[in-house]
Amino acid sequence: MVDLRLAVAADIPTLERWEAAAHVVAISGDDEPWDWSVEIDVPWQEVWIAEVEGRGIGVVVLLDAHAEPSGYWGDVSPGTYAIDIWIGEPDALHRGYGTLMMRHALDRAFSEHDAQEILIDPLETNTDAIGFYKHLGFMEVGPRRFGTDDCLVLQMDRPARL
């Protein structure tokens, strides 16, 4: 069982530690490090901490890709959301928690935010995560370079009946 709660300032050291974990660095590419004091506070994004029996294990970030001011995703339609996820505690990997974290973020996107489509951009080399996303129902859009990172964009459309 995984509980999800919004991140608060007291979570910042943990978020920084997870971001620096070897298995997270390995899949992070050359993006700038996250400035968590800003990330947890912006209105177009939700930063969710996943907890198992009261212990934080990872983070899932849901953001409005149309409203996000840097234009990272390019010229996307209103209703386009994006998700970032990682489990920071190595002993919590591959136990089904990531699936529950994604379900939470997908549910928020489609039910609370009326998202029309959700995008994900794993590094092309992160074949485990790509398999995980496809298993959840994401469809391959194609390769795309973000900065110096070669990524594979995947997309999930809003289910017909919601």
Contacts to ligand COA by CB under 6 A: 23-24, 27, 85-87, 93-99, 122, 126, 128-129, 131-132, 135
Nearer to ligand COA, 43 or 108 (CB): 108
Minimum CB distance to ligand COA, residue 81 (Å): 15
Minimum CB distance to ligand COA, residue 59 (Å): 9
CA distance 118 to 99: 15
CB-based contact 110:162 (threshold 8 Å):
yes
The gap between the terminal CA atoms of the chain, to the nearest Å, is: 25
Q: Residue 122's closest CA among 91, 144, 101?
A: 144
CA distance 137 to 80: 17
Minimum CB distance to ligand COA, residue 145 (Å): 15
Nearer to ligand COA, 96 or 159 (CB): 96
